[in-house]
Amino acid sequence: MKQVSLKVKKEPLAGDNFSNLLKLLAQNRFRVDSRYIPRILYSLLLSSMISPFRISERIKFDKLINSIEIKNSPVFLLGHWRSGTTYLHNLFTVDKRFGFFSTFHAYLPGAFLGYEKLMKPIVVSSIPDKRPMDDVKMDADFPQEDEYALGAFSPYSYYHGWCFPNNMDFYNRFVCFNDVSREYIEDWKKVYLYLFKKVTLNCEGKPLVVKNPSNTGRIRLLLEMFPDAKFVHIHRNPYHVFLSMMRFMRIVIPLYCVQNPPSIDIVENSMMNLYEEIYKNYFLEKKLVPNGNFVEVKYEDFIDNPVNELKNIYDSLDIDGFKDSDRAFKAYVLSQSKVKLNSYNLYDELKDKIFSRWNFVFKNFGYDG
């Protein structure tokens, strides 16, 4: 007999708009496995309790939010999960001239403007001191992926596949938006722009530095919204991405799911397919970015000398003010010196499997197969 899972507080669905949570349940035909009923009940309870505050916030702020003009083009940090995007994001946002989605914004995007004092303790109590998949510290005020905020407002988010893993491939479609109706795309863009404006208002008009691995496969859509946006892509040896990503999925899906996870072989195949799709899109769509607005960074170089690589990014994108934050950048890097990096073993059969599927990525980024 399977045990009931009582790990409920870290469930990201709890931060969803109540109407969106009901849509997700309907999409999945209300299929929640019995052991995860406490998780979905917790999510429904917390989401419904926060609903009046979300409604109040929309009444108070929506007119102002919708009037916001994003005058400073955002900087999008791209790269597959487990490629150093978090470290790059954290380092970049040491520069106080930039704004960002914080963990508080991302986990509770419906009620962060007018109810911070009341709501932030809820987020603080639901996040661990460190991320469950690595040694990186977490805090409600630290930079965070905006995909979590998107998922709270919209059923079109990759992370819903972690909560409803029996429908993982369905939610993977909303990374690149290939073979998805234009109606879905326009709905997604509407939500994303609304969230951008809301965080821009909260950050007093500062240009946003945004990290979201899903954005790696949808540069074209981002350019439709922000034609002058700047892009930084960080890439890592695909072998190491695979190994780190599989460790990541083994840890995170059981923490978030409300359905019994599929076999690890199914999860692996889904991840490998999505990686291929993302990078096929990426290599085509990066050519659409105007000259001077795009730069690529190698993870291995960034880890060796983060501050030097960040300076190269500033120079390549013609971003001013690096010297003003140079001391703060170095202090942050020093503070991360004790973070432990995981090590992995790669046997020949698995190596051959990865290379046979992702060989075009090895070739394009110049990694040995």
pLDDT at 127 exceeding the cut of 90: no
The pLDDT value given to residue 5: 59
Please, which pLDDT band fits residue 4 given cuts at 50, 70 and 90? low
pTM of the model: 0.94
Rounded Cα distance, 213 and 216, in Å: 6
What are the structural domain ranges in the chain?
A: 12-342
pLDDT tens digits, residue range 248-260? 999 999 999 999 9
The pLDDT value given to residue 121: 93
Collapsing DSSP to helix, strand or coil, 64 comes out as: helix
pLDDT tens digits, residue range 289-317? 999 999 999 999 999 999 999 999 999 99
Q: H helices of the chain, where?
A: 18-27, 37-67, 85-92, 103-107, 116-126, 147-153, 160-163, 168-176, 182-202, 219-225, 238-256, 264-285, 299-304, 306-316, 322-335, 348-365
The pLDDT value given to residue 300: 95
Strand partners, 230: 75
User: Which two structure tokens, joined as six digits, stand for 111?
Assistant: 């009620």
**Which CA distances in Å does 226 have to 87, 200, 289, 342?**
24, 14, 11, 36
Please, which pLDDT band fits residue 133 given cuts at 50, 70 and 90? low
pLDDT at 197 exceeding the cut of 80: yes
Contact 202, 65 (CB under 8 A): no
Q: Which of the four CATH numbers 3.10.290.10, 3.40.630.30, 3.40.190.10, 3.40.50.300 does domain 12-342 have? A: 3.40.50.300
pLDDT tens digits, residue range 12-64? 899 999 999 999 999 999 999 999 999 999 999 999 999 999 999 999 999 99
The pLDDT value given to residue 1: 38
pLDDT at 360 exceeding the cut of 90: yes
pLDDT at 2 exceeding the cut of 60: no
